[in-house]
Chain A
Amino acid sequence: MTYTFHLPDIGEGLEEAEIIVWLVAPGDTVERDQPLVEVLTDKATSELPSPVAGTVLRLGAVEGDRLRVGDVLIELDDGSADGADISTEANQSSVTVAGATDVPSSVEKTGPSEPAPETTTVVGSTTARVKAAPATRKLARQLNVDLARVSGSGPGGRITHDDVRAAAVPVSAPSRPGEELSATEDSPSPIGEPATTDATLGQMTPGRHPLRGIRGVVARNMAQSWSEIPHIHTLDEVDATLLMDLRARVRSMDRPGAQAVTPLTLAAAATARALRRYPMVNGCIEGNPADTIVVHSSVNLGIAAATSRGLVVPVIRDADQLDLFALAAAISKVVDQARGGKLTAADLAGGTFTITNYGALGGRWALPIIPPGQAGILGLGIIADRPLAIDGRVEARPTLPLVLGVDHRLVDGDLAEAFKRSLMDDLAEPLNLLVGS
């Protein structure tokens, strides 16, 4: 009988997903748990496995379509007789990580019997079809662009060189976490590769381009935040002398994970402490029109990361429960996953507060936008030596510029200042982070 597979709820809060590429076609035989389709949910790509074994009857959408949770994704003939009562919802935990973007070509191999006549001469295309000429594919390789995610602007949807260059342009990137906050002292080479190259940054051809993929997700989220959340921002500077000193001493420790500890780690730890102290900042306003205050029980920190695929915000769950080393390891892990395109929808869902580190890009001050479903965001600027009045004298001290943005519907100025004060106290004297709350 026909088994209808509806788009499942594959991550917390997911409402819709974009079909990136079908891994099967009508007529294909699929195994249970065989990946059927690659979808883009809240900025993560996921492969959805087949809940049953059977034959593909119909695809519910074409590549590039957006489906809402519950929409028909695919229809399969599971070979069973009619009458069985099958739940059509996939198990929520059945999402697998979308790793390599290679689409296995479903080259059919009939299994001819003994003489196997000319099995290797079966004709047909060898790879999932991408509408791009060889020279365009070469350019895509050079710019590390996955053509399966590029929509072509040429005749018949052919991908042009311009399309590839446009796809190589990263979305505006607030930060590259995991890198040094500071360019002072040891200023080591940045951890990992830069998310983009100067050659491609800001490049896009004149004309009209479809708003799709991660760019589309960012656009929707930012528009929602901008229109719904009345932001207030408070700006300040922390004397980072002790912070840099602690960071240096931790990194000299012969201990696994010590090298991963950065000023961002310490800022994340300080933020987690402040969120515990002031739970309202770890909440949000819900409803349209707004009618509910939600205060979250867990502290889940979103860490904004620029990748070649665009801006993503992976989430460190229960960040307040982690010690410095565990926190540093968790951040560097999600950042690596983000860069490798290996985040799942679940990795991106459930954030309760976000940190954005534009200091890694050289920025000093910015007024960041709060992600939907949260009430606050912390922006970190670049640490540099700046004049500071110390006991009546001007001294050059490393300072950390920081900006706290909050949803004024939920957080007033007094709370914002108190929250910021807590952060600043912990960053100015980071021993606080080690002695617990």
Chain B
Amino acid sequence: MVVGEVASRADLLVVGAGPGGYAAALNAARLGREVTLVERAELGGTCLNVGCIPSKALIEVADTAALPNRVAGWGVTSSVEVDMAAVRSYLSRVVEDLTGGIAQLLNRAGVRVVPGTARFSRPDRLAIEHDGDLQHLEFRHAIVATGSRPIELTDLPVDGERVVGSDDLLFRDDVPEELVLVGGGYVGVELGCAYAKLGSRVTIVEAESRVLPGFDDRIGRAVTKGLRTLGVGLCCDHTALAVDDAGLRVQGPDGEMVLPAQVVGVVVGRRPNSDTVGIAEAGATVDQRGLVSVDPGRRATQGVFAIGDLTDGPALAHKATAEAEVAADVACGYSNAFDPTCVPMIVFGDPQVVVVGVDEETATNQGMDPRSFRFPLAASGRARTLGGDDGFVNVIADGDGTVVGIQAVGAHVAELAGEAALAVETAATVEDLAGTIHAHPTLGESILEAALGLAGRPLHVGR
């Protein structure tokens, strides 16, 4: 193959087929563009293949494995056995079903999918390498959605055996006896809960003073309590040094210690793949965190757009998907802007966590004069019938009564994220929520109850 500068023409090129990229491709195709989608691995990106989807399936497996403990007091006795190799193939089936669906959607939309690794060679040109072959594609517009990759620690290189990344932890043939997770963010919490339920002795190492450091203090405390109940060891204020035969050496305020570890999982966050695609070559501005500067239309340069984990904000699939529509619209000449009030955030730990909009402290800092009402799930009929009563739903409103944030902690609360986001995004008021009949008995009533409390007329709980 000649590595020349003979380029084929592409109308609209999307780089990366994750939740941002494939959505951008579908949107642009719907708007009449000839779309070429370049993907170096599987369709679906991190989310479908090694992120959200398999992890949630694994968490469901783990929850089911933990069922006997949960239902012990309900008059149900049962026992479970987990076959990790079978679990692994089950997860793969879930993933394959979904990625197959993406392939069909793209095919039906007329999107041309090109396998290969893309890199900008000129502001209007991408070099695509596949199996040693190189082809050049000159584009009118490019939407770059190359996502992010796990941050690696220099002293703790991932070898796929003893030291592993989150990918390896999702697809395993065994449950490690001693699992140490480095990083107490949401990935560490989710995997920690899951493996604890599957039978591992889990320890989480976190450099900050508690897990979920980016979250509100009350949420952090509730999750800490849940982890302790599951028997997960917490080693906060510690940083990982190195792994040896004895285990993982960690450094804390009181010196070093060794945590026994059959497997060490490194889950310390993600870094944007702006360097691998060389978006700076296209003239885009990339900051030291690797984030690409974009305007509200997600435009990085005249013809190049960046979305998803490449841009500022939480590195979450739904943010990328929302940006995909914006970028496709703007690239196709329609006005649009990425200006959400909130990007909802969920942690599928035990308890689950939903955070939408701002917390009280942030609201105060933004000059909002917020009020909030925390409804305890202990007062929720539905929470009781589900066997759990730990947790709360907290609704935060500004001085005008507009809902600016909703937080929830507890079993199954992740499903409240939709209503919470709708309320915040549409600037619903406390009275809007309080005046909406919520079906009984559901967890959603907890949002109603918190709103009633904020409105000064709490029903199932004292003021």
Q: Chain A interface (Cβ within 8 Å of chain B)?
A: 22, 25-28, 59, 62, 102, 107, 109, 112-127, 129-134, 137-138, 141-142, 154-159
Query: Are A116 and B269 within 8 A (Cβ)?
Result: yes
Query: Are B268 and A118 within 8 A (Cβ)?
Result: yes
Chain A residue, CB-CB nearest to B208? A117
Query: Are A129 and B341 within 8 A (Cβ)?
Result: yes
Query: Are A117 and B184 within 8 A (Cβ)?
Result: yes
**Cβ distance A240 to chain B, nearest Cβ, rounded Å:** 41
Cα(A129)–Cα(B316), bound, Å:
20
The proximity string for B residues 172-209 relative to A, scoring 1 for CB distances below 8 Å and 0 otherwise, is 00000000001111110000000000000000001110
Cα(A62)–Cα(B186), bound, Å:
36
Cα(A157)–Cα(B429), bound, Å:
9
Option from B208, B214, B296 in Cβ contact (under 8 Å) with A122: B214
Contacting residues, chain B, for A112 (C-beta < 8 A): 207-208
Contacting residues, chain B, for A107 (C-beta < 8 A): 312-313
Option from B295, B313, B366 in Cβ contact (under 8 Å) with A129: B366
Q: Chain B interface (Cβ within 8 Å of chain A)?
A: 148, 151, 153, 182-187, 206-208, 213-215, 239-240, 268-270, 289, 295-296, 309, 312-316, 335-337, 339-343, 345, 355, 357-359, 362, 364-368, 397-398, 400-402, 404, 425-427, 429, 431-432
Cα(A205)–Cα(B295), bound, Å:
33
With A117-B185, A141-B337 in contact, do A124 and B362 touch (Cβ < 8 Å)? yes
With A26-B365, A117-B185 in contact, do A155 and B268 touch (Cβ < 8 Å)? no
Cα(A396)–Cα(B206), bound, Å:
88
Query: Are B269 and A115 within 8 A (Cβ)?
Result: yes
Query: Are A27 and B268 within 8 A (Cβ)?
Result: no
Option from B185, B269, B335, B341 in Cβ contact (under 8 Å) with A127: B341
Contacting residues, chain B, for A102 (C-beta < 8 A): 295-296
With A123-B215, A123-B345 in contact, do A156 and B339 touch (Cβ < 8 Å)? no
Chain B residue, CB-CB nearest to A128? B366
Query: Are B207 and A132 within 8 A (Cβ)?
Result: no
Chain B residue, CB-CB nearest to A109? B289
Please name 24 pairs of A and B residues whose Cβ atoms are closer than 8 Å in the assembled complex, sorted by A.
Answer: A102-B296, A112-B207, A115-B240, A117-B183, A118-B187, A118-B268, A118-B269, A119-B269, A120-B270, A120-B314, A120-B315, A121-B185, A121-B186, A121-B316, A122-B214, A124-B362, A125-B340, A125-B357, A154-B427, A155-B429, A156-B400, A156-B401, A156-B427, A159-B427
Option from B208, B240, B359, B402 in Cβ contact (under 8 Å) with A156: B402
Contacting residues, chain A, for B339 (C-beta < 8 A): 126-127, 130, 137
Query: Are B269 and A156 within 8 A (Cβ)?
Result: no
Query: Are B314 and A122 within 8 A (Cβ)?
Result: yes
Query: Are B148 and A117 within 8 A (Cβ)?
Result: no
Query: Are B268 and A115 within 8 A (Cβ)?
Result: yes
The 8 A-B residue pairs whose C-beta atoms are closest, nearest first, are A118-B185, A156-B402, A133-B426, A115-B268, A120-B315, A156-B400, A122-B214, A131-B427
**Cβ distance B220 to chain A, nearest Cβ, rounded Å:** 12
Query: Are B398 and A125 within 8 A (Cβ)?
Result: no
Query: Are A125 and B313 within 8 A (Cβ)?
Result: no
Contacting residues, chain B, for A137 (C-beta < 8 A): 337, 339
Cα(A432)–Cα(B235), bound, Å:
88
With A117-B269, A118-B185 in contact, do A125 and B365 touch (Cβ < 8 Å)? no
Contacting residues, chain A, for B341 (C-beta < 8 A): 125-127, 129-130
Chain A residue, CB-CB nearest to B357? A125
Query: Are A133 and B425 within 8 A (Cβ)?
Result: yes
Counting chain B CB atoms within 10 Å of each CB, the highest count among A22, A115, A154 belongs to: A115
Query: Are A115 and B335 within 8 A (Cβ)?
Result: no
**Cβ distance B19 to chain A, nearest Cβ, rounded Å:** 15
Query: Are A113 and B207 within 8 A (Cβ)?
Result: yes
Option from B206, B359, B400, B431 in Cβ contact (under 8 Å) with A117: B206
Cα(A116)–Cα(B150), bound, Å:
11
Contacting residues, chain A, for B295 (C-beta < 8 A): 102
Contacting residues, chain B, for A157 (C-beta < 8 A): 400, 402
Contacting residues, chain B, for A118 (C-beta < 8 A): 183, 185-187, 213-214, 268-269
Query: Are B345 and A156 within 8 A (Cβ)?
Result: no
Query: Are B402 and A115 within 8 A (Cβ)?
Result: no
With A124-B362, A130-B341, A141-B335 in contact, do A115 and B153 touch (Cβ < 8 Å)? yes
Chain B residue, CB-CB nearest to A105? B312
Contacting residues, chain A, for B214 (C-beta < 8 A): 118-119, 121-123
Chain B residue, CB-CB nearest to A119? B269
Chain A residue, CB-CB nearest to B398? A156
Contacting residues, chain B, for A113 (C-beta < 8 A): 207
Contacting residues, chain B, for A121 (C-beta < 8 A): 185-186, 214, 269, 314-316, 345
Cα(A125)–Cα(B358), bound, Å:
6
Contacting residues, chain A, for B269 (C-beta < 8 A): 115-121
Query: Are A123 and B239 within 8 A (Cβ)?
Result: no
**Cβ distance A126 to chain B, nearest Cβ, rounded Å:** 5
Query: Are A59 and B367 within 8 A (Cβ)?
Result: yes
Besides A102-B296, A125-B340, 14 more A-B contacts (Cβ < 8 Å) are A102-B295, A107-B312, A115-B239, A117-B206, A123-B214, A125-B341, A126-B312, A126-B339, A126-B340, A127-B339, A127-B341, A130-B341, A155-B432, A156-B397
Counting chain B CB atoms within 10 Å of each CB, the highest count among A102, A114, A129 belongs to: A129
Cα(A93)–Cα(B289), bound, Å:
35
Counting chain A CB atoms within 10 Å of each CB, the highest count among B339, B355, B364 belongs to: B339
Chain B residue, CB-CB nearest to A144? B335
**Cβ distance B209 to chain A, nearest Cβ, rounded Å:** 12
With A26-B367, A125-B341, A156-B427 in contact, do A120 and B148 touch (Cβ < 8 Å)? yes
Cα(A131)–Cα(B426), bound, Å:
7
Cα(A399)–Cα(B151), bound, Å:
75
With A116-B151, A121-B186, A141-B335 in contact, do A25 and B402 touch (Cβ < 8 Å)? no
Chain A residue, CB-CB nearest to B182? A115
Cα(A121)–Cα(B183), bound, Å:
13
Chain B residue, CB-CB nearest to A131? B427
Cα(A26)–Cα(B182), bound, Å:
35
Query: Are B355 and A123 within 8 A (Cβ)?
Result: yes
Cα(A116)–Cα(B345), bound, Å:
19
**Cβ distance B451 to chain A, nearest Cβ, rounded Å:** 13
Option from A115, A119, A133, A138 in Cβ contact (under 8 Å) with B427: A133
Contacting residues, chain B, for A129 (C-beta < 8 A): 341, 366, 368, 404
Cα(A131)–Cα(B404), bound, Å:
9
Cα(A62)–Cα(B345), bound, Å:
30
Query: Are B315 and A131 within 8 A (Cβ)?
Result: no
Option from B309, B342, B402 in Cβ contact (under 8 Å) with A120: B309
Query: Are B365 and A158 within 8 A (Cβ)?
Result: no
Cα(A296)–Cα(B295), bound, Å:
45
**Cβ distance B323 to chain A, nearest Cβ, rounded Å:** 11
With A122-B314, A123-B345, A127-B339 in contact, do A114 and B153 touch (Cβ < 8 Å)? yes
Contacting residues, chain A, for B402 (C-beta < 8 A): 131, 155-158
Counting chain B CB atoms within 10 Å of each CB, the highest count among A27, A126, A133, A142 belongs to: A126
Chain A residue, CB-CB nearest to B369? A62
Contacting residues, chain A, for B401 (C-beta < 8 A): 155-156
Query: Are B343 and A126 within 8 A (Cβ)?
Result: yes
Counting chain B CB atoms within 10 Å of each CB, the highest count among A114, A119, A124, A157 belongs to: A124
Chain B residue, CB-CB nearest to A127? B339
Chain B residue, CB-CB nearest to A141? B335
**Cβ distance A36 to chain B, nearest Cβ, rounded Å:** 13
**Cβ distance B307 to chain A, nearest Cβ, rounded Å:** 13
Cα(A286)–Cα(B151), bound, Å:
69
**Cβ distance B39 to chain A, nearest Cβ, rounded Å:** 22
Contacting residues, chain B, for A119 (C-beta < 8 A): 214, 269, 289
Chain A residue, CB-CB nearest to B362? A124
Cα(A131)–Cα(B425), bound, Å:
8
Chain B residue, CB-CB nearest to A132? B427
Contacting residues, chain A, for B431 (C-beta < 8 A): 155
Cα(A112)–Cα(B316), bound, Å:
20
